[in-house]
Structure 1
Amino acid sequence: MSNLNPVVAHVTNRIIERSRPSRARYLALVARERDRHSDRGFLSCSNLAHGFAAAGEDKPAIAAGGTVNLGIVTAYNDMLSAHQPYGRYPEQMKLFAREVGATAQVAGGVPAMCDGVTQGFDGMELSLFSRDAIALSTAVALSHAMFDGMAMLGICDKIVPGLVIGALRFGHLPAVFVPSGPMPSGISNKEKQKTRQLYAEGKVGREELLASESASYHSAGTCTFYGTANSNQMMMEMMGLHIPGAAFVPPNTPLRQALTRAAVHRLAGMTRKGNDYRPMAEVVDEKAIVNALVGLLATGGSTNHAIHLPAMARAAGIVIDWEDFDALSGVVPLIARVYPNGSGDVNHFHAAGGMAWIVRELLGSGLAHADVLTVAEGGMGAYACEPVLMDDALAWTPAPARSGDEAMLRHVSDPFQPDGGMRLVSGNLGRGTFKTSAVDEERWTIEAPCRVFETQEAVTQAFKAGELDRDVVVVVRFQGPRANGMPELHKLTPPLGVLQDRGHKVALVTDGRMSGASGKVPAAIHVTPEALAKDGNWGPLALLRDGDMVKLCAREGSLSTTADLSARLPVPPPPAEMGMGRELFAMFRLNAGGAEQGGSAMLEVAGL
C-alpha cells in the first residue's frame, strides 16, 4: 500500500520480524492439519456414524462426504443479554446452509459469563481465565474433525477472544464470526453515571439504583456502551472476520437475519471443497492484528484488549507488545467518541456512520492495511460500506461522506485528539496501560501520596470513612492473573469519581483490570510485573507503603515513585480465597503469564 503511514509500516514490519520463528511454526502446524484433517473421509465408518447419527435430513449429505459441513460453536445462554438471541440461530443457520447445498451442525457450546453480573463479586475472579476455558471448549468442539468451516457465535468480553484463540488452532478451516447486535438504547449514560455516584455517596438507595440500571440494561442484545464486548465487534470487522457491517445491527430485525444468512452462505463458499479457500490462518496475519490494534486506538476501545489482543495474536504465532500499542497510539488519531468516552452509545455510533466510516477513514489515510485477506470478497475495502436491505435483498452502500454526528464521529483530518488514547506508562513501579481517551487532558499527570490496598472492598470502606478525601494515588495490588485471576475493579469507578469531582487530584494504580468501560479517573492498570510475580520474585507494587509519593504521567509515559524500594521486604498477598469455584482455577493462576503477554495460563503452558 503506497500511502501507508510509515509508523504503521514500521510497527507491522517489527511484528513480522519478531514473530518470524513462531509464525513459521504455526503455519507449519496449520499445513499439517490441513493435510491430515480437512476431509472427514479419513474417519472410520463407526466414527462417522457417531458424528451424523442425529443429523436428521442432513444425514445422507454428511455421510456422502462431498458436501460442505459447517461446525457451529455457540456461546448461547439466555442469562447473558447479548447471547440470548443466539438461541434460535442454529436452526436458522441449518436452513441457510441447505440453500447453498451445505449442512451445519452445532459442534459444541462454550461458557459465556457476564462481567456485568459478577462485577465486584467473587465470581469475577473467574472472568479472565474463562477466556482460556472458552478456548479449550472451542478446541473440544472442533476436535471431532467433522467440519469444513467454523461459524463462531459469540459477542462479549472474554468470549470472542476465547473463540478466536481456540479457532486459530484449527486455522486450516475458514471461520466467520456471527454477532447478534446491540440492544436498543436506554436512559442516557450521563443519567446512569449520576445515579451511580449518588448511590456511592449514600444520597439514593438501592431501589433507585436498580431502577436506573434496569432502564439501561433492559432487553436482549449487547450492552450499548463501548466496552469490551462492542470493542470485540469492532475488531472482528477490522480483522476481516465478520460479514461487512455486521457488528452493530440490532437483533431480531430483517437486516440482522440477512447478515446471518450471508455469513453462512459465505462460509460455505470459502472451504477447501470450493474454489475460494480462505483458511482462518491466512486471514489472521500480522497485518490483520495491526488493523485490529489501529481500530482499537481510533475508536477509544476497551483497555482489556491490551491483554486480549496479545493473547489472540499468540494463538496465530504472532508476538505483539505494549510498545506496539504505544507507537501506533502516537500516530492513530481518535476519530470516535462513544460512551464512556463520549455521550452517545453504539447505536448512535452506528447511525452516525459506524464501522463503515471508521474503515473508510483509516484506509484512506494510510493508517490501516488494505492488502489483507478477509472473509469478504472485496477485501478490507468492503468494510467501508454499510449493509442495507433493498427490495428484501442484502446490499452494501458506501460509508456516508459526512458524519451523522460530529460529536461522535470525525474525519482523520479533524480528530477529537491527535493520538489514539492508549499509552504505555513505565518506570520503577513497572509497566502499565493508561487510557487517555477517557480522561481530561489536565488530569494526565497526577503526583500525590499513595494509599495502598489489597482489595477493592477495602478501598470502598476507606472512602466511606472519609479517609481518601484528599489528593491521593490509590494503589490496589495483588489483583493480577497469578494472585486472584485479575478481576475488573469496576466498583472503584464511582467512589474515585466522587473524589475527583470534589476537586481532589486522584489516580488509580493497579495490577488488576478496570472495566472496558472505565471512565474519567486517570489510571495505570494491568501493571506488570504484578505484585505476586513469578519464580519467587515480587513486583514493585508489593514494596509500596502508605504515604510513598507516586507519579503517574501519560505525557511522559511514566509510572514511578520517589521512595527507595531497594531495601524493603515485600508485603505478602492475602490468602487465596475459596468458594464460587475459584479453587478450581488454581492451576490457571499458578501458570499464568504476565498481562503484557496476554495473561493466559493455557498459552504459557503450551509454549505459544
Structure 2
Amino acid sequence: MTARIVERSSATRSSYLSRISAAADRGPARGRLACANLAHGFAAAEGEAKTQLRRGQKPNLAIVTSYNDMLSAHQPYADYPPILKQAVIRAGGIAQVAGGVPAMCDGITQGRDGMQLSLFSRDVIAMSTAIALSHDMFDGALLLGVCDKIVPGLLMGALSFGHLPVVFVPAGPMASGLPNKEKARVRQLYAEGKVDREALLDAEAASYHSAGTCTFYGTANSNQLLMEVMGLHLPGSSFISPDTPLREALTREAAARAVAISKYDDRVPVGELVDERTIVNACVALLASGGSTNHTLHLVAIARAAGIELTWGDIADLSAVVPLLARIYPNGAADINHFHAAGGVPFLVRTLLDAGFLHEDVRTIAGPGLRRYVEEPVLADVGYGTVVWRERTTRSLDDEVLRPATDPFAGDGGVKMVTGPLGSGVVKTSALKTKHRAISARARVFDHQDDFLTAFHAGDLDGRNFVAVIRYQGPAANGMPELHKLMPALGALQDRGQKVAIVTDGRLSGASGKVLAALHVTPEAAHGGPLAKVRNGDLIHIDADQGVLDIATADEFAHRLPTGFAPTEEQWVGTGRELFSVFRNAVGPADAGATVFPAVPAEEVADERATA
C-alpha cells in the first residue's frame, strides 16, 4: 500500500520536499529581517526575551492557539501560553504567541445554519495558521488544538511551512459523565415525543459537563489518537485529563521537546515527518480504532498538503485487512477515558506494530521510530513535575474495550467505501450490527434535512422500509454540514423493526453509529452527480461489506435529468454564510478532501499555465 502511494505521489511529493528544503536552507529567517522589521517583531517582548530575539541565537517558537472559553475542549488552553513560554525558556529557547485560529463546535451548530460553515472553517484555520507563521520570526511551532476541523486545519497550515518543526499540544478529555449510550437513548425518546425538552437538556448537560474534550469517540478524539500515532504528540499524552499534574507536566515537556527539535543540528521538519509511511499509519490507526468518517476527508486533505496523493481506494484496501481492535462509543459502551484506562494508544500502537500493521521506521517528535509510542508517561517527581516514560501496558486491561490484533472484534476495519451508479461514498461499519450492513429498499428523497424531519414527525415514514436520500448537502451545495439531527429519528424507526438507511452527499457526525449510512457521496448533487436524478420509489441497494451502492433502474437512470436544487446565492445568506460563497464556488470534491486548496503544488500549476 505504501509503495503504491509513494509511486503515485512521486512528482507532487518531490516538488513539495524541494520547496520546503529551499526554505530550510535559508536558515533562521529573523536573522535576515531588516532592522525595522525585526524591531517590530520584538517590540512587545520584555527583558531577556527581547535580548535573545534581537541576537537571533536561540530558536524562537510560534505558539498558535485555538483558545476560547466557550468550548469545553479549548477552554483549558487559556493558561497554556505562559506555561509554554516558561518551559521553552528553561529548555533554551524563546516563544511568542504568533496568532489564534477560530474554533467552532459542530455539537453547538448541529441542525443550524452555522453548521454550513463548519467544514470550510478547516481551510480558514489552515490559512490562519499560515498567517501566524508568515512573519519569518520562527524556528518551530507549538500548535494548540483539539476538535473536529481545528487539528486538521492546524496541520495543513503548518505543512505549508513544512521546513519548521511542529509539536501538537493536547488538552485532554473531560471526566466521564452520563454514559453515551444513555444520552443516545434519551435523544431518541425525545425524537419520538416520549420525553420533554427539560429531560433532554438534563441528559445532555450530564454528558457534557466540564472542561475537556467530549468523551465519545468522534472526530475530536480521533484527531488526538491520530496525532499521537503520527508522532506529532508526545507518547501517551493524548488522553490525560485537564487540570491534573501529569497534564501540566506533559505540556511543559512538549515545549521542551519543541525546542530540542528546532535547534539547527537536530531539526525535525514537519514536512519530512509527515511522509507516506506516516499517512498510512494514520489510516491504519483510524480503521483499527473505528474512528471518525470525517477523517476520510481530513486525511486526504492533510496528505495533499504534504504532496502525498491518498485516495479513498487506499483507505478501502487498508480497511479490508486492518482488524478492528477498539469498542468506544458509538462502537461500544465505553468512552475515551475507559479506552485510555484499558491501555489506550500505547497498547494500540504496540499490538499493531507487533502484528506488522504499522510502519515502525518513521520520524516522530519523540525521536526516530514509532516503538517509542508503546510507552506511557508517569510523574517521577510530583513536586517538580518531571515526566518519565515506561513500558507499562503489555496487554489490554479490558478486552471488552480494547483487544490485541491476534483477537480482534472484527477482521476488517471500521470504515468502508461503497461505489456504484450512485457514486462513491463512505460507510462507518464499526457500530453497525451485521444485519444492518446491507439493505434493498425504496428511496425517499429529500433536498433538506428539515424536510425529512417534517415527514418523520408527521408519521409519513412509519411502517415501511426505505433509504432516505438527503441530497444537495455536499461542499459545493451548502458547505457539507453534518446531518446528525437525523440519527435519533432513523434510530427510532430502526428500533421499531423497519429497515432504514441514509444516502447523502453530506456528512454525519464523526460519532455516527447504528444506522447504515453512505456518506460523502461524490460526485455531489450540486455538480450534477447521480443523487440529483434519484426519485421517490427507486430501488436502492447498499452493501457495506461488498462495497456496493446501486440503483435498480441503472439503464434508464443514466438518461434522466436532475431534479431538485441546491441553495442559490440569494438563499445562502445569513449567519455569515454569504462571506463563504467563494469557498462554495472553489471547493473540490469530497474524495479529494473537500478543500479549496489546489492539489498540485503552485509552481507546477504555474509551469503548466506558462507552457499552455
Q: Shorter-normalised TM-score: what interval? A: over 0.9
Is 2:505–2:525's contact at 8 Å kept on the other side of the alignment?
yes
For the pair 1:521 / 2:521, whether they are aligned, the reply is no
Choose from 132, 149, 171 the match for 2:140: 149
Question: Distance in 2 between the 1:30 and 1:559 partners?
Answer: 41
Deviation of 1:604 after TM superposition, in Å, equals: 5.5
Moved more, 53-62 or 175-184: 53-62
Contact 1:125–1:486 (8 Å) recurs in 2: yes
- Give the equivalent residue in structure 1 for 2:125: 134
| Structure 1 residue runs without a partner (length 5+) | 1-10
Shift, 1:390, TM fit: 2.1
Is the Cα–Cα contact under 8 Å of residues 490 and 500 in structure 2 kept in the other structure? yes
Aligned to 1:40: 30
Q: Does 1:531 align with 2:514?
A: no
Stretch of structure 1 that moved more, 598-607 or 322-331: 598-607
1:601 equivalent among 565, 583, 596:
596
Q: Which residue of 2 aligns with 1:349?
A: 339
Deviation at 1:139, TM superposition (A): 0.5
* 1:478 match: 472
CA positional deviation for 1:332: 0.6
Q: Which amino acid aligns with 2:529?
A: G
Q: State the one-letter code of the partner of 2:218.
A: G
Letter in 2 for 1:474: A
1:6 corresponding residue in structure 2: none
* AA matched with 1:593: G
**1:215 corresponds to 2:206:** yes
* Mean CA deviation greater in 439-448 or 568-577: 568-577
CA distance in 2, matches of 1:556, 1:378: 39
Alignment match, 1:169: 160
* Structure 2 match to 1:587: 582
How far apart, in 2, do the equivalents of 1:79 and 1:336 lie?
A: 31
- Please name the residue that 1:337 is paired with: 327
1:119-518 matches, within 5 Å, as 119-273=110-264, 275-377=265-367, 379-392=369-382, 393-469=386-462, 470-518=464-512
Match of 1:406, SS state, is coil
The one-letter code sitting in structure 1 at the alignment partner of 2:417 is L
Equivalent pair of 2:181/2:329 in contact (CA under 8 Å) = no
* Matching residue of 1:117: 108
Residue in 1 that maps onto 2:608 = none
Q: Any conservation in 2 of the 1:477–1:510 contact (CA below 8 Å)?
A: yes
Alignment partners' CA distance in 1, 2:444 and 2:28 = 57
The residue identity in structure 1 corresponding to 2:560 is: R
Aligned counterpart, 1:21: 11
- How far the C-alpha of 1:62 sits from its partner, in A, is 0.7
Kindly tell me: are residues 60 and 483 of structure 1, through their superposed partners in 2, closer, same or farther at Cα, counting changes over 3 Å? same
Which residue of the partner structure matches residue 560 of structure 2?
Answer: 568
Post-superposition offset of 1:39: 3.1
Question: Is the 2:277–2:362 Cα contact (8 Å) retained in structure 1?
Answer: yes
Q: Deviations over 1:209-241 (max 9, x none)?
A: 111100000110000000000000011011100
CA distance in 2, matches of 1:391, 1:56: 31
Question: Structure 1: how far apart are the matches of 2:587 and 2:60?
Answer: 36
Question: How far off is 1:277 after superposition?
Answer: 1.4
The yes-or-no answer on 1:55 pairing with 2:45 is yes
Amino acid of the structure 1 residue aligned with 2:494: Q
| One-letter amino acid of the counterpart of residue 471, structure 2 | R
Counterpart of 1:501, as a letter, is D
Rounded to whole Å, the distance in 1 between the matches of 2:510 and 2:221 is 9
1:4 is matched with which residue? none
Assess if the C-alpha contact under 8 Å between 1:444 and 1:555 holds in 2.
Answer: yes
Whether the aligned pair in 2 keeps the contact of 1:588 and 1:602 (CA below 8 Å) is no
Mapped partners of 1:281, 1:289: distance in 2: 12
Q: Distance in 1 between matches of 2:35 and 2:344?
A: 49
Equivalent residue number for residue 102 of structure 1: 93
Q: Does 1:85 align with 2:63?
A: no
SS at 1:589's partner residue? helix
For residues 253 and 166 of structure 1, the distance between their equivalents in structure 2, rounded to whole angstroms, comes to 30
Give the SS at the match of 1:41.
helix
Residue 66 (structure 1) aligned with residue 35 (structure 2)? no
Paired amino acid for 2:576 = G
The TM-score normalised by the length of structure 2 is 0.96
Letter in 2 for 1:441: T
* Deviation of the 1:405 alpha carbon: 1.1
3-state secondary structure, aligned to 1:231: helix
Cα contact 1:38–1:172 (8 A) shared by 2: no
Contact 2:471 2:532 (C-alpha < 8 Å) held by counterparts: yes
Query: 1:190: Cα distance to partner?
Result: 1.6
RMSD, aligned CA: 1.1
Q: Identify the residue that residue 609 of structure 2 maps to in structure 1.
A: none
Structure 1 residue 443 displacement after superposition: 1.0
The superposition leaves residues 180-214 of structure 1 with CA deviations (integer Å, 9 ceiling, x where unpaired) of: 00000101112111100000000111111111100
Give yes or no for contact 2:362–2:368 (8 Å, CA) kept in 1: no
CA distance in 1, matches of 2:459, 2:436: 22
- Which residue does 1:7 correspond to in 2? none
SS in 1 for 2:525: coil
Per the TM alignment, residue 422 of structure 1 is displaced from its structure 2 partner at its CA by 1.1
Paired with 1:430 and 1:323, the residues of 2 have a C-alpha distance of 13
Q: Give the secondary-structure state (helix, strand or coil) at the position aligned to 2:519.
A: strand
CA contact (8 A) 2:361 2:368 kept: no
CA contact (8 A) 1:334 1:421 kept: yes
Cα distance in 2 for residues equivalent to 1:453 and 1:93: 50
Where structure 2 has 5 or more consecutive residues not aligned to the other structure, the ranges are 606-612
Q: Is the 8 A contact 1:71 1:150 kept in 2?
A: yes
Identity rate, percent: 58
> Do 1:593 and 1:604's aligned partners in 2 also have CA atoms closer than 8 Å?
no
Aligned-residue offset at 1:555: 2.0
Question: Is the contact made by 1:70 and 1:102 (CA closer than 8 Å) also made in structure 2?
Answer: yes
